[in-house]
Structures are given as C-alpha cells and as structure tokens.
Structure 1
Amino acid sequence: MSSIMTNASAMTALQSLSATNKALNTTQGRISTGYRVAEASDNAAYWSIATTMRSDNKALSTVQDALGLGAGKVDTAYTAMNKALTVVEEIKLKLVAAVGASEADKAKIDTEIKARQEQLKSIAGGATFSGANWLAVDTKDHATPGKHDGASIVSSFDRASNGTVTLGKITIDVQPIKLFDTGFADANNDGVLDAGEEFDAVDMGILDGLRLGTSGKRDNAATAATAGTVAATDGYSVTTLKVTGSNDIQIQQMLNVVEKALSEMTDAATILGAAKTRIDLQKDFVSKLMDSIDRGVGQLVDADMDRESTRLQALQVQQQLGIQALSIANSNSQNILSLFKG
C-alpha cells in the first residue's frame, strides 16, 4: 500500500541513519580522545576503577619524590661518614707515629691531629640535606633525650581490598650513626664524633665522648686522663685527645679509643650503605609499579586505534548508504504523484 501520510520506508531509513550517526560520533570521540571509556557514562565500572588507579598512581609519584629526597639525605650522610672515617684513620696513623717520639715531635703531631679533629667537626656539621643532618644532631627534644627518635622515609602507598590506604616507610636508625649529639645523654648514648666545644660541651659522641683507654668503649666511669700519669679510669676523646706530655702507655690507650671509634663508624657506614641500597631498590620498584598501573588502566579505558579506524571507515560508508536510502524513501511520494498525471 502506498501512502502520502505515512512513509514507512523513510522512517526506517531515518532510524537506521540516526543509529549510524550515533555510532559514528562515538567512534570519532574515541579517536579524538584516545579513550573508549572517557566518562562514567561510557562504562561506570571501568571508569570508577580507572579513576581510583590514576589517583593511586599520582600518590605513588609523590612517594617516588619522597624516596628521592630520602636518598639525598642518606647519600649525604654516607658520603660524610666515609670522609670522617678517612680522617679518623689519619689520626690513628699520627698516634702510631707519636709512640717513642720526642716532645718536640709530639707537639708537631698534636698540631696535625688538631687540624683533623676540627675537620671531623666540619664534616659532621656540613652533612645537611634539605634541613636534615643525621651526623650532627640535637636530641634534647626527642622522646628520650640523648636517644634519637630515628628518621622515616615514605616508601610505598598501599590500598587494601577493602579500600583502606596505608603508607609504608623505611626507618633509619640514627642513634648508632650520629657523630655529634648536643642532647643531654650519658656516655653510653653519645654520638660517633660528638660535637665537643664547637657544638655543645654538654654531650659527647662516639668520637668525642670519653672512652676508657683500656677498652676504647664509652663508659660513664671514664675520667679525663692526666698527661704522663696512668690510671684505671683514664678516658680519652677522639676529638680532644693530645699526645703532648703523654707517655707511650697513654698513647697506646688513645689508639684503643680511636680503633674502637673506627669500628663503630664502620658499622654506622654499613647501616647507611644498607639503607641506600634499600631506597634504590624501592625507587626502582615504585617506578615499575607505576608503569604497571598505567598499563592496567590503559587496558580498561584506552581505545584500540586500529580497530576504531577500521570501524570509522565502515560507519562512514554506512552513513553514505543511509543517506542514499533515505533519499530513495523520500522519492516515493514523487512516484505517487506521477500516478495522477494524465
């Protein structure tokens, strides 16, 4: 039946053309944005997951920055510690040279030792990165004065299956690596090289706190030695020891003190070296984790450009055919008019 009131063919062709145009717009949007899920309306579940993962990835980027900052602090302390070790070793060599030396030679050796003692203080005082110095510290305001609370470096951002977020941290135990501490500690809590008079004479450290000459260990019972006189409680400090007027027995005790301090400094350098390695490994892991998350998000929301390009060409052809079909359907009315021509 032919009708001029209702053109069923035209309506069918129009619906088909509208569907083709809608699909074409969707494909063109994917090609222009690069996403097949650009908004929540495209796929609410995938969009929600991708949004959360992108947010977590931004947090991981901040963690990566924190690790970089922490690495700078550890590197600074590690470099200074190694340099301090070299200087203390030089003091050790000067002490060996002082055994059996004349008083005139001891005076010259004292001058050289003094220069290195000042250098130790300079090294520790300058080991600052971003306002943090783990070698020259002040523990007066810490939980236990004299004992460093330690330092923490944010190392990870973790999201549990229930959505709970936690931050992982790498903790650096500063107590055994501090060289100087101006806090109110006893000898057993001193630093490695402590500040001495240049920083604060109240508290000493691993090298500046009094150590028993007999063992080299820090001990509250140690008392300042008197040059030329040997006592069981004789104590020495790496950053204040003098060989002038001291006999060979006392110089040997000074060597015991320096040797023990070197051992503690070596342990401190080991702690810093291990922390440096762990931070480097974590930085590498976080970087790879961020790449993995990016790939995961891409699998969910990125458009397959090869597929969309092929689909675009097919839809363009469908659009042209739809327009042609609609044109043919609209021409049916003209065909009806020809029936009434004489």
Structure 2
Amino acid sequence: MKLNTIAFKAFVVEEKDGAYVREIKMRTVNDLPEGDVLIKVHYSALNYKDALSASGNKGVTRNYPHTPGVDAVGTVVASNSETFRPDDKVIVTSYDLGMNTDGGFGEYIRVPKDWVVKLPENLDMKEAMIIGTAGLTAGMSVLRLSQLTKPEDGKIVVSGATGGVGALSVSILSKLGYTVVAITGKESERDYLHKLGAKEILLRGEIENFDKKPLLRPLFAGGVDTVGGVILENIIKATQPMGVVTACGNVASPKLELTVFPFILRGVTLIGIDSQDYPMAYREQVWKKLSKDWKPETLGDTCTVITLKELDEKIDLMLAGKLKGRTVIDMGV
C-alpha cells in the first residue's frame, strides 16, 4: 500500500452555515500537509488552545475544515530526515501543530523535522501526553524560576492550580522541595491539590480581593501564573524582594494594571513563558528533566484517558471551566 493512500480517523471541525460542527471522519495521508516526518499518533491531549480551535476561534485557526491537537506522540512511519527513522518514538508539541497544521486529533500527522523530539527513554507514550504542552510549559516555568529562586527562599504560589499547567507545576515544584501555595476557584479540589503536593490552598476570590495598593505585604518568594489579569497583578504585588514570577496564560485577562513599584522598589522579576516557539535546545533539556528528576510521582493522578468519541463532550467541559488536570486521548481505541 502506498503511504498516501493510508486511511485513518480524524476529529474534524468544519464551518457550516455560520456554525462550527465537530465530527470524526475518515481521511487519507494524502490529505495531510507536506512535511519531513510522517507519524502514526498513539496518544494526544486536550489543551485550551485545542478547545478554541474546535470552536472556530480564528485567532487560533484561520481556515476550516481542520483537525486540532497541539500535542501528539507516536511512531515514525516515514522520514526525510537522518535524525528520525521508521519506528522511532517521537513527540510533537506546539509550533503550528493543531493550529493551522492538522494536529494530533488525527491518527496520522505530517510535520517538519524541526518540530520533532525523540521520546526520552524514561517516559512511555501515555506519560508524555500527560505532560504534553501543559507539562512542557510548566517545566519551562520551573526551569526559569528555579534558576533564580531556591526552596529556602520562601513560598511559591501557583495560579490555576487544577488546570493542566498549574497541576503539573504544583507537582514538579513540590518534588523539588518548594513550599507550594495553590490558587484555585474550586473549593472542592482541596484534597486533590494537597495530593499533588500543595501545602496551602488560596481561593481565587481571596487573591482577587487583595488590597488595591500598588504594593502588598510580601507573601511569596515567587510564582507560576497561568491565568493573567488581577491574579497575576496581585501575585506580583505580593512577591518579596528579588522574587521571580513566570507568566504563561491570559485566560482571565491579557491586561495588567500595575505600577512599576514591585519591579523598581522590590526588584521583582517577571518572566514570560511561550511554549509554542521555545528553542529546541531548551525543549530537549526540559523533556529530559521531566523524564527523570522532575517527573511527578503523582503524574497519573493528573490525567483522565478518553477515546476520540468522547472528545467533543470534553471540549465543551473545558470551555466551561469544568475540567481538571490533563485529558489524554488514546488514538488506538
């Protein structure tokens, strides 16, 4: 059989009469974009960006029909690169995968060689997708934070702590010996967050209602913020002198209403994290750490495994803010 004639299932989003319809359809490899490496996908994972793409958000995906899925792990079927050979186990996350290039919600993807990372020896494929873009983003955040802040410096706060990036950040930081304060809007998830390693829980409403002063009483040595908006503002204002805060999300708001006082008077450092185009050398470094020293002991506890048929429902739940942890799609079921 010629490779281009291989038929496979894919979760396809189409625009019909002004609405966006999601269906599982049969496609062929010939339908995929050109690329150096053809990969059979074993697992994918659901991210917020996928949910936006599946809803017709033109800021994420310009053209439809389209198959989302910014995360994929699988085996190489064919390759034009000397780096990757058939049967190699590989990971593809971010870049343009699942945005304007058909992504991991299909049983096959074809991508440029520069997007591909070999699966580390200490990770299996399911674990790689529990980590996925969310874990890679968490790892990048921890890497930058840990270069400037040590466990003995004080508490580290993590916002959006029941989400994919937040939950994995809590787990990794806890494993590295940091005292973690988890911010959540879900009172019912206290036990879950404590199990991940959080020592304290701060409800979202509490930090949102902090004083409006330009500087607040120092509470944290640093933070990992995944939501932006007033929560990020108050984390920065409550960070102690020479503390470090990383920011990787803006679901609450992309705007910050701050003075320069935290940065000038306290020397607080704010570091932006963009996992989409993060340099490959750093990606490989973070993946290696995530497969060894940083691999959370509670990794499986942050995950729900579903089939492609269950994906539509999970997308709606994610958009409604009703999912916790990671949702992994088993493409072989």
Q: Which protein is bigger by CA-based radius of gyration?
A: 1
Relative to the length of structure 1, the TM-score reads: 0.25
Higher share of residues assigned helix: 1
